[in-house]
Each structure stands twice: as structure tokens, then as C-alpha cells.
């Protein structure tokens, strides 16, 4: 199922080098040295407008009304960032092919790679640009849209590169699962043209803003960080269960003894929260999920809260063990007794290029990738095989 979505093994290193030399132009390459993003002008923000459905009945919300369209103000975008999965030869070949195609079809578009990836490809793709070391703000200053080649982890990595608003992302699935990635990399030319020409559909994926506080209520320096999947307090490597008090809009909801508590987004509902027994939430449902991790209780069930909620997770002062805060799986340091995190809806959603028919694509994904409602008695087919989709939408 997933193997058909991988890039064919037909682009060797020598071929990449020949193609790169063929497509090299004097406009984009200096005689010596390295192209950096310091030479690229500051971007002009695109116009992102809400799509309007063609439904006759506007008394109820239509799916199209919750998606958006992209407009480059009558021009083409000037800079694209390509993010790739590490240590994968298929992904490396795809990056080279896409970069060469972009350089040929749209020579006015600057191609930017992360520093480690730039070092890997500079000799065969000398027209690409590098973000100077230590100049993290360059991503927000110049990048018009982002291309990801990999899995869901590669997609999530993009969020960490931008402090606030993230440019539109076009994700191509070349990873292990790819539930968040709607496009096959074999169709990159069609999908890239739609983005560049401004005819793509954008799906806003809600993010959370995580803030960390000391026991006396002072904000920690690491506060105000945007996360895509979830924020979590977990006992980590400590042998004792941790005691966590969960507050909803400053009102005590419950105090849990267990491994931890997850606060997630609809996007994160198919990640760690799902493994902890949480619900699957459609990405257009603006909400927050609270899921316990192995609680010492049979009655602490997952909750779905309004997206306007503010959730506070505090390590109880009588907790036997300490806890660790995590954001999208990244260790964010230890929390002592009395310290806490606050999680609320971020004002900066991820704008993701998506299928125009979101409902059909989402139904295919949960059936084919997550094997939704597959029974033990039908290992290869659903009980109603006529309803079983045969392939994902290309």
C-alpha cells in the first residue's frame, strides 16, 4: 500500500550531476562561493481567502467554506524551501529531480535548503541557496512556500523552523505512514504548478501555543511556542507515577495519578493521543483533546474541548515523582512539583495544501492507512467489501 507511493529508484548520483550541469545558468550561480539567502529580497505575503461553496443551502456550514485559496498578488512566488527526510536515497533522488524541474520551469524562483541538506547537494545542485548559520529568522523573512519530502515527522519539523506564521506547505508522502500527507510525489509537477499559479486549496490545521511557568507563576523563557500535534506532561524515566492537576479555564477539572496527560489538536488526534486511547478528530473540527496516559483509574476518559479553552497541567505539590514536558515528542525539560504548563489555541495555524475534496481524502486515509474498523474475522477485506476503497487519491 505504502510502497507504491515511494519515488522510483531511477535517479542515480551521476545522472543528478549531469542534469544539474545541464540546467545551470549564469543568472543563478556565482563563479565561486556559495549562494545564501542574504541576497533574496523580503517576501510579499500572499493573499489567502476563504473559499465559498456552491451549495444552494447556506444555512449550514459547507466543507468548502472552511478551506482557503491562495493568491500571489498577480505574480509568482520568489522563494521555496524544500525539507527532506534524512538518510533516504529515494528522497534524495526526488529532491534533486524537483529542484532541477523548478530551476528549469521557474528560473525566477529561488530554491532554499537547510544547511545540512545544502552541504549534501551543493556540488550537484549549485543553484540552490543556503540559510546562513545562526540566522534562523531568514526562514520567516523570505520563504513563500514549503515543500516537504518524507513522512509526518518531516512535516512536523517545518513548524519548528518558523516562530509564528508558517508559509503554505505542500507535503509529498515519502515516509512510513504519511497520514498528514495527501500527495504522491510522482505527481509533483501538477501539484507544484497549482501552488505556484495560485489555484491550490489550503486546509488550516490548528496549532497549540505552549507556555511554561514556575511554581510562583512566573513565565519561563521557553514559553509561547507553537506545537502541531500535542503538548504533554509525562513521568518520563522516573519510576514513580506522577500526579498532575488538570485545570480548564482556571477551574480544577481533575487530578490524575498515572504516566501523564496529553493536550492535542485534531491533527494530533492520530498521533500519540490515538495510541493513548484518544478519539480521531476531523481536521476541520476546531477543538482540543485531553487524553490521559495510563491513568490509575478506569473512569478518566478522553475529552474533546472547545478550541477557545485554556488547559493548565500542573505537577501536584505532593507528587512522588517529577515530570517532563514534551512538545510534538521533543523533550522540553523537567518540571518540578508546583510547576505547570498552559496550552491554548495558537493564532497561527498551519496552512497546508490539500485535496479539494477533503472528506473523500480523509475517509480514504483512515481506512487505508489506519485500517479503520478492520475486524479480526476479515484480515484482508471489510465485511462490506463494496464500500472498501481500493487506492488513495492521487
Instruction: Give me the residues paired with residue 199 across strands.
Output: none
Cβ proximity of 261 and 232 under 8 Å? yes
Report the C-alpha gap between 33 and 39 in whole angstroms: 13
pLDDT in tens, 53-77: 655 554 445 555 578 888 898 788 9
The pLDDT score that the predictor gives to residue 62 is: 57
Catalytic site positions = 152
Q: Who contacts 301 (Cβ-Cβ below 8 Å, separation ≥6)?
A: none
Q: What is the model's pLDDT at position 301?
A: 96
Report d(CA 371, CA 376) in Å as an integer: 12
Number of CB atoms found within 10 A of residue 135's CB: 12
> Which pLDDT belongs to residue 223?
66
Distance (Å) of CA 207 to CA 25, 150, 318, 346: 41, 21, 32, 5
Q: 384 is written with which cell numbers?
A: 462490506
- Closest among 247, 228, 383, 353 to 309, alpha carbons compared: 247
Pure H helices in the chain: 13-23, 89-105, 115-121, 138-142, 152-161, 188-196, 272-275, 358-368
Q: Residue 210: exposed, middle, or buried by beta-carbon count in 10 A (0-12, 13-18, 19+)?
A: buried
* 230/264 Cα distance (integer angstroms): 4
> Helix, strand, coil proportions of the chain in percent (round to 5)?
25, 30, 45
Question: How much of the chain exceeds pLDDT 90, in percent?
Answer: 62
pLDDT (0 to 100) of residue 129: 96
Burial class from Cβ neighbours inside 10 Å (0-12, 13-18, 19+) for residue 116 reads exposed
Across 353-362, average pLDDT: 78
Give the integer Cα–Cα distance in Å for 122 and 370: 38
- Pairwise CA distance, residues 284 & 66, whole Å: 7
Q: Mean pLDDT of all residues in the chain?
A: 85
Task: Tell whether pTM > 0.75.
Answer: yes
Alpha carbons within 13 angstroms on the beta-carbon side of residue 362 total 16
Alpha-carbon Rg of the chain, whole angstroms? 23
Q: What is the pLDDT of residue 44?
A: 86
Amino acid at each position: 500500500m505504502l510502497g507504491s507511493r515511494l519515488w522510483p529508484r531511477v535517479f542515480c548520483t551521476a545522472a543528478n550531476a549531469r542534469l544539474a550541469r545541464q540546467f545551470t545558468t549564469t543568472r543563478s550561480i556565482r563563479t565561486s562561493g556559495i549562494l545564501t539567502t542574504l541576497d533574496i529580497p523580503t517576501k510579499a505575503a500572499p493573499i489567502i481567502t476563504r473559499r465559498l461553496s456552491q451549495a444552494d443551502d447556506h444555512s449550514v456550514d459547507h466543507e468548502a467554506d472552511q478551506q482557503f485559496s491562495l493568491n500571489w498578488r498577480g505574480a509568482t512566488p520568489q522563494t521555496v524551501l524544500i525539507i527532506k527526510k534524512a538518510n533516504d536515497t529515494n528522497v534524495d533522488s526526488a529532491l534533486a529531480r524537483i529542484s532541477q524541474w523548478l530551476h528549469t520551469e521557474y528560473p525566477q524562483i529561488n530554491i532554499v535548503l537547510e544547511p545540512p541538506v545544502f552541504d549534501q547537494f551543493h556540488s550537484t545542485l549549485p543553484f540552490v541557496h543556503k540559510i546562513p548559520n545562526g540566522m534562523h529568522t531568514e526562514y520567516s523573512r523570505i520563504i513563500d512556500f514549503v515543500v516537504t519530502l518524507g513522512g509526518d515527522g518531516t512535516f512536523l519539523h517545518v513548524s519548528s523552523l518558523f516562530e509564528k506564521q508558517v508559509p503554505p506547505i505542500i507535503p509529498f508522502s515519502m515516509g512510513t505512514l504519511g497520514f498528514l500527507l495527501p500527495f504522491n510525489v510522482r505527481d509533483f509537477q501538477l501539484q507544484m504548478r497549482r501552488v505556484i499559479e495560485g489555484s491550490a486549496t489550503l486546509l488550516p490545521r490548528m496549532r497549540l501555543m505552549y507556555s511554561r511557568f514556575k511554581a510562583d507563576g512566573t513565565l519561563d523563557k521557553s514559553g509561547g511556542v507553537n506545537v502541531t500535534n500535542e503538548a504533554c506532561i509525562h513521568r518520563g524515566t522516573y519510576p514513580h507515577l506522577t500526579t498532575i492537576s488538570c485545570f480548564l479555564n482556571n477551574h480544577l477539572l481533575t487530578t490524575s495519578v498515572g504516566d501523564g496527560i496529553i493536550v492535542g489538536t485534531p491533527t494530533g488526534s492520530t498521533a500519540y493521543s490515538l495510541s493513548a486511547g484518544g478519539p480521531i478528530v476531523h481536521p476541520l473540527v476546531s477543538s482540543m483533546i485531553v487524553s490521559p496516559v495510563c491513568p490509575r483509574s478506569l473512569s478518566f476518559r478522553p475529552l474533546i474541548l472547545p478550541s477557545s479553552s485554556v488547559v493548565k497541567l500542573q505537577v501536584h505539590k505532593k507528587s512522588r515523582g517529577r515530570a517532563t514536558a514534551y512538545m510534538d515528542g521533543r523533550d522540553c525539560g523537567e518540571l518540578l512539583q508546583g510547576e505547570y504548563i498552559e496550552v491554548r489555541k495558537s493564532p497561527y495555524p498551519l496552512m497546508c495544501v490539500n485535496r479539494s475534496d477533503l472528506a473523500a481524502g480523509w475517509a480514504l486515509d483512515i481506512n487505508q492507512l489506519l485500517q479503520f474498523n478492520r475486524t479480526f474475522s476479515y484480515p484482508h477485506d471489510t465485511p462490506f467489501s463494496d464500500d472498501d476503497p481500493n487506492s488513495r487519491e492521487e
